[in-house]
Amino acid sequence: MRDLIKQAFILTEQNSCLKTLTDSEFHIYDDTTDKKQCHIQDNPTGIRHFKVENPTGRDIHFLSIDHCLLFDGDSAHCDCAVFDEKTFCFIEIKETTRPNKRAEYTHDAKEQLKATIQHFQERVAFTTKRIEAYLCVGDTSPRPARQSNNLNEQVEFADMKAVLYRGNQKRFA
């Protein structure tokens, strides 16, 4: 899958958007200031938006999408993705502590995830067995991912052969 991404998106290598990690755990930080792209959070006291658990230590690939692989003029797109040979996970992070903004951010995040999945499916023949979308709306406190129980959301994402999760943690088991 890694090679297919590099072939389909020429900016992958040029902008260093793709990294491979074998750490048992790593965190993703969505930088909304300078470059506005997701990074692996190397600072142990830094902001952690999404946690990836890799207990087997296998290759997990991190792909920074927003402002690295795709840019604002390309259309709506999600922040990043993590994947292995079995599962490809698209991630959209919207940080807010204001409850009245959650519905708006959730709607926007779902649209970004759907647009990115469709964009990738048009350019890449997925070799992974499973496509997942992670909706991370709220604060940065750990929230184990749970499959969406909203039937409309399930259908929206099932049409793209994807499963929608809410939360900010992914475990590759």
* Maximum alpha-carbon separation in the chain: 42
Which two three-digit tokens encode residue 12?
């992958």
- Over the range 26-52, which residues count as b (16 or more CB within 10 Å of their CB) and which as e? bbbbbbeeeeebbbebeeeeeebbbbb
DSSP alpha helix (H) spans, the chain: 2-8, 11-14, 102-123, 151-158
pLDDT digits (tens, 9 = 90+) for 122-172: 999 998 899 999 999 988 888 999 999 999 999 999 999 999 999 999 999
pLDDT digits (tens, 9 = 90+) for 68-123: 999 877 678 999 999 999 999 999 999 988 888 999 999 999 999 999 999 999 99
Classify residue 100 by its DSSP letter. G
* pTM of the entire predicted model: 0.95
What are the residue boundaries of the structural domains of the chain, listed by start?
2-171
What's the burial of 9, exposed, middle or buried (CB within 10 Å: 0-12/13-18/19+)?
buried
pLDDT digits (tens, 9 = 90+) for 54-74: 999 999 999 999 999 998 776
